[in-house]
């Protein structure tokens, strides 16, 4: 991934936090069938290898799990808040006019050698952990045990487990750090005017600008 120094994020705990907050990752393989990409919800286990381990499950009907058995490495792309930045938000536009549009975004790329897992105990833990990671945010969480045991057993027969010990991970927080302070203030204000959807980006622009 292209990473200008101002946008790099190498702290593993920050990268893992992004994955937990935005767990729907794009899994990319280049195996015997060529390039394949599918979206899956992931869990990241920080207690595994030094860089962590990604966990997911795939439908048996999805041919990508067969590709995962054949490849030496796969790539998973996670994306956080992102949106267009208009030059109209920059103070520099009023001063010189020498500005162009851009795009602010947050992303984490993780590489590793996948392991395909055929194990009911592992799969049960996977679906329970994934469910709990989202349902715990709800006032009345749904549990896997709420469904009939035979139904859950039948559903599990239709999935395959995957672990990806992370061998390399890169983070990029492109959030106007390369702009002057007045321009960053204008970008944050502009996103806040957009409402709730822009609030998260505005907060990151301010936080990253202060750190930079």
Q: Give the pTM.
A: 0.94
- The pLDDT, as a whole number, for residue 50 is 87
Residue pair 175/146 in contact by the 8 Å Cβ criterion: no
Strand pairing partners for 165?
Answer: 53
- Please state, as a whole number, how many other Cβ atoms lie within 10 Å of the Cβ of residue 55: 21
- The pLDDT, as a whole number, for residue 48 is 61
Spatial distance between the Cα atoms of 195 and 189, rounded to a whole number of angstroms: 10
Helix (H, G, I), strand (E, B) or coil at 104: strand
- The pLDDT, as a whole number, for residue 210 is 83
Torsion over CA: 188, 199, 77, 53 (sign): positive
- The pLDDT, as a whole number, for residue 4 is 94
| CATH fold for the domain made of 5-83+103-178 | Pnp Oxidase; Chain A (2.30.110)
What are the distances in angstroms from CA 6 to CA 32, 81, 92, 191?
Answer: 38, 18, 19, 21
pLDDT by residue, tens only, the chain of 212 residues: 999 999 999 999 999 999 999 999 999 999 999 999 999 999 999 986 689 999 999 999 999 999 999 999 999 999 999 999 999 999 999 999 999 999 999 999 999 999 999 999 999 999 999 999 999 999 999 999 999 999 999 999 999 999 999 999 999 999 999 999 999 999 999 999 988 889 999 999 999 988 76
């Amino acid at each position: 991934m292209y990473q200008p120094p101002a946008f790099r994020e190498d702290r593993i705990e920050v990268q893992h936090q992004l994955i937990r907050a935005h767990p729907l990752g794009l899994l990319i393989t280049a195996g015997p069938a060529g390039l394949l990409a599918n979206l899956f919800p992931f869990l990241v286990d920080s207690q595994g290898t030094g860089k962590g381990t990604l966990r997911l499950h795939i439908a048996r009907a999805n041919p990508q799990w067969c590709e995962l058995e054949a490849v030496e490495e796969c790539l998973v792309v996670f994306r956080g808040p992102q949106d267009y930045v208009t030059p109209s938000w920059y103070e520099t536009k009023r001063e010189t006019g020498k500005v162009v549009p851009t795009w602010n975004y947050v992303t984490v790329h993780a590489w590793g050698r996948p392991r395909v897992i055929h194990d009911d105990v592992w799969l049960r833990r996977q679906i329970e952990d994934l469910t709990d990671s989202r349902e715990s945010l709800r006032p009345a969480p749904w549990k896997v045990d709420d469904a009939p045991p035979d139904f859950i057993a039948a559903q599990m027969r239709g999935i395959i487990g995957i672990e990806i010990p992370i061998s390399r991970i890169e983070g990029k927080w492109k959030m106007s750090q390369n702009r002057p302070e007045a321009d960053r203030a204008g970008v944050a204000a502009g996103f806040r005017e957009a409402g709730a959807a822009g609030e998260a980006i505005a907060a990151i622009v301010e936080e990253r600008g202060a750190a930079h």
